[in-house]
Amino acid sequence: MRYRNVWSEVPPAEVVNTPSRFDHAIGPFNVVISDACDHCLKCTAACPEKVFESRGGKLAPPKDHLCLGIDCSTKSTRCVRSCPVGAIRVGINPDARALGDRRWTSDLLMSTWHMAETGRVPKNGLEYRIGGSGGGFDKLRLVFPRRLPRPSLDKDSIDTSVTLNRRNDGRHKIDIPIPVYGGGMSFGSISQITMLARIRAFAAWGSFTCTGEGGYPEALYPFDDHIITQVATGLFGVREETLQRVKIIEFKYAQGAKPGLGGHLLGPKVTEAVARIRETVPGSSLFSPFPFHSVYSVEDHKKHVDWVKAVNTKALVSVKVSTPSDVDMVAIGSYHAGAHILHIDGSYGGTGAAPDVAKKNIAMPVEYAIPKVHNFLVEEGVRKEITLIASGGIRTAFDIAKAIALGADGVVTGTSDLVSLECLRCHNCESGRGCARGIATTDLELVGLMDLQWASQRIINMLACWREQLREILYRFGLGSIRELVGRTDLLAHLDYTSDVPDDDIRDQLR
């Protein structure tokens, strides 16, 4: 399949099959064709997943990442037993099991790739709901009622939208149709193609993506209505004319992946283009301080908010903070400073560039921070006036639903977007030429490994699959809107405290 580069168009939010850009995509099974194959092509008719295709009258190399596995292949009507010469063998792919880590397991990686390719959850037994971390969202379960509360509920009419301005202050009134927007990933940390692909995909869904702290490249200008521009502690590329272009401005005071450390962009990634946008010197490592040295109180914080509100009289203000033990105090302070969106970023967020020592040991996990903030804002009587967004390790539609049930209105994603582009989680994001797949790089040769339209469509497909899963989850709960799920901790169970949790598998409904 060939794709053209479309730099300024918002594509439709439609699922289009978008295969891997590599000759041999990775899946849980291997399909091997022996030399005995006589190209009768009976397997092409026998396989329901189109693993086998003909090319010029000959059998093409099998797309074994789509294979449903050994049990399927040995059925009487399927490939192995339908082959008259016994040329087909199906087995476990040992390479696949070497992928990933405990949070992003090989199953989660491969299932996300499948969703990005097809827009559907995998049918081959991959675990697409949880990872293997042994904690966090992996220990939480959605507890569905054994009978449907509202069987007549129309799934297609279930509302998954989120309101971003609840203050009714004359500024932009923004509803996004999915409870997700893209987190800050700056030009420099990722390629411009990756950056544009994320923006085009979220724009297709009527949502937003944040620029991160790397400035506002001109290639982003056609997508002004779907961009959140970030003001971070390094102030790289921050200019009043770019603040005036957008509908949402985000202050990044800290991030959960590396609180207390600030931002880092090493010299090999600071190309001439990156340096021009960031108004700095090519090849020089860039470090953002941890705090804004002009902000040490709520009053100082309010001066920041008032400044951007004066620069852009219609924009919403988002405040991104990490999750210290007093995050509830931070939240109420941001409300009184005039923020529209409070974005809490827990530990386990960040790409492979974020140091593990920070991700695993400093910030509060977001699943603890969300109810702490939500409940405190309810007690203070202001919860309905501010939108609470959560991030920090959101990987799946089930993570999204759990975060909302804990008290968030919506979530921000980052790593999952890159995984949809076939990121392997090799943890070399900080290196200039470390990303062998051309995602988190500014190297011109590696950037050319990825086509913009292909990348945009992969993220569109993943978001489509997530929305389908969220609607199925809400249907199972009898809820007509994602907003009805906010704060419904009674629909959750933690495996440390509840041994009898019904199976939450909705695989059959989502196929």
Nearest-10 Cα torsion for 272, 276, 281, 287: -110
Which residues belong to CATH 3.20.20.70 in the chain? 155-483
Does residue 412 register a pLDDT over 60? yes
Asked whether the beta carbons of 186 and 227 are under 8 A apart, the reply is no
Q: Which of 232, 285, 277 is nearest to 255 (CA)?
A: 232
% of the chain exceeding 70 in pLDDT = 89
Structure confidence at residue 4 (pLDDT): 47
Q: pLDDT class for 351, splitting at 50, 70, 90?
A: low
Which residues belong to CATH 3.30.70.20 in the chain? 29-92
SS3 44: helix
Q: Each residue of 238-267: pLDDT tens digit?
A: 889 999 999 999 999 876 555 555 566 666
* Domain 29-92 is found in CATH 3.90.870.10: no
Structure confidence at residue 204 (pLDDT): 98
Q: Each residue of 295-304: pLDDT tens digit?
A: 788 899 999 9
Structure confidence at residue 138 (pLDDT): 95
Structure confidence at residue 295 (pLDDT): 79
Chain centroid offset of residue 7 CA: 22
Structure confidence at residue 434 (pLDDT): 77
Pairing of strands 410-413, 227-231: unpaired
Q: Identify the DSSP state of 329.
A: H
For tokens 């993506």, name the residue. 209
Structure confidence at residue 367 (pLDDT): 95
Mean pLDDT of 55-73: 92
φ, ψ of residue 119 in degrees (nearest 5): 75, 15
What is the CATH code of the structural domain delimited by 155-483? 3.20.20.70
The residue ranking higher by pLDDT, 301 or 115, is 115
- The DSSP element (H or E) to which 493 belongs, if any, is strand 492-494
User: Residue 166 class from Cβ within 10 Å (0-12 exposed, 13-18 middle, 19+ buried)?
Assistant: middle
Q: Which residues contact 30 (CB under 8 A, 6 or more apart)?
A: 64, 90, 91, 92, 93
The residue ranking higher by pLDDT, 349 or 437, is 437
% of the chain exceeding 90 in pLDDT = 67
What radius of gyration, in Å, describes the C-alpha atoms of the chain? Answer: 23
Mean pLDDT of 425-442: 83
For tokens 């949402």, name the residue. 248
CA distance 346 to 407: 14
Length of the chain: 511
